[in-house]
């Protein structure tokens, strides 16, 4: 599965590391824009299977991505 995250998020490196640990078989890509303007600066966001997900906490975002996988 392909997971896209926005490079404008202040903790993008931390988010990428946690996603890589949680989903080792999936591809995590850092994009310059994933179409969630201004949300990506304030909270963790990701685009998975064409769906845009957001959460204030990285762990909750990982939970939402995990729900999509099943």
Consecutive sets of 10 residues in the chain, 70 residues long: mean pLDDT of each? 92 95 95 86 91 94 90
Q: Would you state the pLDDT for residue 45?
A: 94
pLDDT of 36 reads 84
Residue partners of 14: CB distance under 8 A and separation at least 6: 58
> Cα separation of 65 and 59, whole Å?
10
Predicted confidence at residue 30, as pLDDT, reads: 94
Domain coordinates in residue numbering, the chain: 2-69
Strand boundaries in the chain, DSSP class E: 2-6, 27-31, 44-48, 51-55
Looking at residue 15, what is its pLDDT? Answer: 95
Q: What is the CATH number of domain 2-69?
A: 3.40.30
């Amino acid at each position: 599965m392909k997971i896209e995250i926005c490079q404008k998020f202040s903790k993008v490196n931390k988010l990428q590391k946690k996603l890589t640990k949680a989903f080792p078989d999936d591809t995590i890509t850092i994009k310059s824009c994933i179409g969630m303007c201004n949300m990506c600066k304030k909270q963790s966001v990701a685009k998975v299977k064409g769906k845009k997900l957001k959460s204030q906490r990285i762990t909750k975002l990982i939970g939402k991505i995990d729900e999509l996988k099943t």
